[in-house]
Each structure stands twice: as C-alpha cells, then as structure tokens.
C-alpha cells in the first residue's frame, strides 16, 4: 500500500484521457461534432483533467461549482477547490448548443477533447468582475479600493484574461484526446501524476515537498529546496511549462538551467525535476492553493510557499499566499479537504555578514548586508544587460540565461514591483 498522500477528492486519480482504440473511435466521432475553439488556458486545464492532475474534476465547472469556488473555496458538494475551472464560449456558440449536446474542443486545428454539455450560464460583465475580485484581489497596495480596477486592467494578466472571456460558460464532463506538444517537447520532464508517484515509490519517498517554479532557479529557490530536502524524503522541482506573460523566460531555458543546478549543486537522489502543462493565472494566494491542490495528486504532501508566491505587481501581501492556508474551510472529511500542507518559509537572501544564505528568521544583520533575490529582479537585470549582483545566482545558470537574452531580437520591459526590488523588506 502506498505511503504517499492520497489524491485530492477521495476517488483516486480521476483521469479523463482516452488512449488506444477508444481514443481513435472518439476522434472519429469528434470530426462530426460542433467544433469549439478553446483558449490556451482551457487547453492546459483539459490536459490536467486528462492525466489526473485536476482530480477529482471530470470536466468544466457548473455555475454552482463556479460560485462556490469563488465565494468559499468549495465546489457544490463541499470538496475544496480554490480557482474556477471554466470554459467560455461566445453568445452565438452558446445559442447553437443545447444541454445534452456533445461538442469537440479544438485549438489550432487539433482536437483536444469531446464534451457533453450539461449546463450553460451567462457571464455578464458584473459576473466577471465579481470573479476577479474574489479570485485575484489581494491585500497588497494595488488591490486597495478603486485602485484595483485602475491598475488590474493594465497590469494583471489574470484579470485581463477573465475580463476578455466570452459571454457564456458551458459545463460538463470531458473525454480528453491529446496531451498536446508536451510529451514530445519535454521528454523526461513532462510526466503524468501516476508517473511522478511511481518515481517517488521507487525511491521509497513518503514525505515529499514541491517547489513551484515559473522563473529561473536562483539562490533563494535553491535554498528553499535544500531546506525541504533536510526535513523531507525528497523534493519535486515542478516547473510550469505552459504559457506565461510576456517577458517571462521560456520553459526550455528554465529547465536547462535547473538541470545544470541539480548536476552541480544537489544530491541527485534527493531531487526530481518535472514539469506540468498549465498556464499561469497569476492569482497569488489562490494560485498557491491551486498549486498545493494539484501537487497532492502528484503525491506531494508539502508545498513550499515563500515570498509573493504566484504574484504579480503589488496586488498581494508579502506572505498572503502562506496566510490563506490558515483561512480555508476544513470539513474534517479527508476526501473533501486539502491534505497538501504549506511549508512556510520566510524571506530568504544571501547575507554577506552571515557569509551564506539566510532568512529574516535567522539573520540579525542590516538590510545593506543582504542580496535581495527575486525572479523579477533577475529578469530585469538580464534583459537590460546589467550586471547581476554577486551571490544572486550560480555562475553556470547565469551563463545560460545571458546566452538566452543575448539571442533575443525583441525585448519586453520588465516592471519592478516593491517586493521584488526589496524596498518593502
């Protein structure tokens, strides 16, 4: 019997992916169904439903689930879930689809799934704004009062994405027919939850931590991972390989940098590098909860949560993504509750007087002695060809990143928020 944490929802890994003859038959049927073009976000969500990453979800959420998730982190049946997983369609498409219809979900000419439509509901501008305020509004300066809407439509990719959604959501179970480009483009990195669990089992791991990465791994990330290695059986360095906002560093570059770091600075038996196919939502605390929820499906029972986890701009409090774990509903039923717990780590940095990595809990020295580390700060320095301060990152990693930036023909301005710059320490 497995010693790993059970998948979320109490039903084991719920996988909607069809394979072999069953998949071929469904693809043939899909060719004759109404075709609905889906977003990149929905594509990632579908793949996660296919491989069991979003267990216990079997499809896109109905209105009662959408409302419950936004309002109190629970689907209609009381199962914890922190972020809506919905599928938007135009008013014209919604009008042409009846409840009970089967449709094909396609993107870029590829069929990703079929879906039985069980419900459709209108998403008015007010509904979209309500969702944004529940999911994306935090406790940071950019979320205060009227400033949220003044800033969010310009600077918050998640809010922009929701407000740009079409007029209706449709809901119902899916049969997933493709994992997209990920198996071919990321061999050995892209793994289904069952495959990651099997690797943990092979190594005899029971107590596992995950490090979420959307930025290149700098010294602070390395330090967080090594703290977890000290107290757990092992660490999963789990990189986002879906879409990011303009200016973020592509997955292939980040993964190459992680490989170099593991090769030179980790005991390899204690760490596994992998990737997952979602797009970033930049939902800060809510996304931290989502990261813990689907990591539980991968066999992880500890989620590393540091400073400004999954944040953007100054929309969220410095450690709001840690604090939110203390406010989520707990029913007492392990099948409905979140079982993956946060590993709450304070602000980390290199301290010249400590002569090593430290945190606010361990370093007694002045701010001037500390090298403030953040992915945003690193990207800004590299994109501008500026010097990267000593002890910010490993030389081998910085060499790879400089090579990437030197090869860019078009550069995106990287905005520096207060937390990333260290001015709010």
**197-206: pLDDT as tens digits:** 999 999 999 9
45-62 mean pLDDT: 98
The pLDDT tens digits of the residues spanning 153-195 come to 999 999 999 999 999 999 999 999 999 999 999 999 999 999 9
Containing 25, the helix (H) or strand (E) segment is helix 20-30
- Do residues 88 and 60 lie in contact, with contact meaning Cβ atoms separated by under 8 Å? no
- Please check the confidence at residue 324 and state whether its pLDDT lies above 70: yes
**Alpha-carbon span 264 to 285, nearest angstrom:** 32
- pLDDT > 70: what percent of the chain? 96
Write down the pLDDT at residue 412. Answer: 56
Where do the structural domains in the chain lie, given as residue ranges?
20-180, 183-280+346-421
> Of 127, 215, 270, 302, which one is the catalytic site residue?
215
Class of domain 20-180: alpha beta
**Alpha-carbon span 275 to 277, nearest angstrom:** 7
- Please check the confidence at residue 423 and state whether its pLDDT lies above 70: no
Residue 214 annotated among the catalytic residues of the structure = yes
The pLDDT tens digits of the residues spanning 246-257 come to 778 889 999 999
- The structure tokens listed for 298 are 């991968």
Containing 71, the helix (H) or strand (E) segment is helix 63-72
405 vs 328, residue with greater confidence: 328
User: Residue holding tokens 């490090």?
Assistant: 211
**Which phi and psi angles does 22 have, rounded to 5°?**
-65, -40
Question: 10 Å Cβ neighbour count for 42?
Answer: 21
- Please check the confidence at residue 337 and state whether its pLDDT lies above 60: yes
Q: Considering only 13-17, 154-158, 223-227, 413-417, which range has the smallest mean pLDDT?
A: 413-417
The pLDDT tens digits of the residues spanning 371-421 come to 886 767 777 788 887 888 788 889 999 999 889 888 887 765 656 555 555
pLDDT band at 131 (very low <50, low <70, confident <90, very high): very high
Write down the pLDDT at residue 252. Answer: 92
Write down the pLDDT at residue 383. Answer: 80
What's the mean pLDDT when you consider all of the chain?
93
- Please check the confidence at residue 422 and state whether its pLDDT lies above 70: no
> Of 107, 192, 214, 394, which one is the catalytic site residue?
214
Please report how the helices 251-265 and 395-406 are oriented relative to each other, as an axis angle in degrees rounded to 10. 160
Long-range contacts of the stretch 183-186 (C-beta < 8 A, 24+): 185/252, 186/241, 186/251, 186/252, 186/255, 186/275
CATH ID of 183-280+346-421, from 3.40.50.12280, 3.40.1190.10, 3.40.50.970, 3.40.50.620: 3.40.50.620
The pLDDT tens digits of the residues spanning 259-316 come to 999 999 999 999 999 999 999 999 999 999 999 999 999 999 999 998 889 889 999 9
The pLDDT tens digits of the residues spanning 86-126 come to 999 999 999 999 999 999 999 999 999 999 999 999 999 99
Write down the pLDDT at residue 201. Answer: 98
């Amino acid at each position: 019997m497995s010693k790993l944490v059970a998948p979320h929802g109490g039903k084991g890994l719920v996988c909607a992916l069809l394979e072999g003859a069953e998949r071929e038959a469904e693809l043939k049927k899909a060719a004759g169904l109404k075709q609905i073009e889906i977003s990149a976000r929905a594509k990632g969500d579908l793949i996660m439903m296919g491989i069991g990453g979003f267990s216990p979800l079997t499809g896109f959420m109905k209105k009662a689930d959408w409302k419950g998730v936004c309002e109190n982190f629970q689907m209609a049946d009381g199962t914890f879930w922190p972020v809506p997983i919905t599928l938007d369609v135009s008013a014209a498409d919604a009008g042409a689809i009846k409840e009970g219809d089967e449709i094909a979900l396609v993107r870029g000419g590829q069929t990703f799934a079929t879906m039985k439509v069980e419900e459709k509901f209108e998403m008015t501008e007010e509904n979209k704004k309500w969702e944004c305020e529940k999911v994306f509004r935090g406790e940071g300066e950019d979320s205060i009062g009227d400033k949220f809407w003044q800033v969010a439509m310009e600077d918050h990719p998640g809010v922009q994405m929701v407000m740009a959604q079409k007029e209706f959501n449709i809901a119902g179970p899916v049969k997933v027919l493709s994992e997209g480009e990920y198996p071919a483009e990321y061999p050995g990195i892209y793994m289904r939850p069952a495959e990651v669990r099997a690797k943990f089992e092979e190594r005899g791991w029971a107590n596992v931590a995950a490090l979420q990465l959307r930025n290149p791994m700098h010294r602070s990330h390395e330090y967080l991972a090594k703290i977890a290695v000290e107290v757990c059986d092992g660490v999963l360095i789990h990189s986002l390989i879906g879409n990011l906002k303009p200016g973020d560093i592509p997955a292939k570059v980040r993964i190459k940098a992680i490989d170099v770091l593991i090769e030179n600075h980790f005991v390899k038996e204690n760490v596994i590098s992998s990737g997952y196919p979602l797009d970033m939502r930049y939902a800060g605390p809510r996304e931290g909860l989502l990261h813990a929820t689907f990591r539980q499906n991968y066999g992880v029972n500890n989620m590393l949560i540091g400073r400004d986890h999954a944040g953007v701009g100054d929309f969220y409090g410095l450690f709001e993504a840690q604090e939110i774990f203390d406010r989520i509903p707990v029913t007492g039923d392990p099948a409905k509750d979140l079982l993956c717990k946060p590993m709450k780590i304070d602000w980390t940095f290199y301290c010249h007087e400590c002569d090593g990595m430290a945190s606010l809990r361990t370093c007694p020295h002045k701010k001037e002695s500390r090298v403030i580390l953040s992915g945003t700060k690193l990207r800004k320095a590299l994109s501008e060809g500026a010097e990267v301060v000593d002890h910010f990152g490993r030389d081998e990693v910085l060499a790879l990143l400089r090579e990437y930036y030197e090869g860019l023909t078009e550069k995106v301005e990287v905005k520096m928020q207060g937390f990333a710059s260290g001015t709010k320490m």
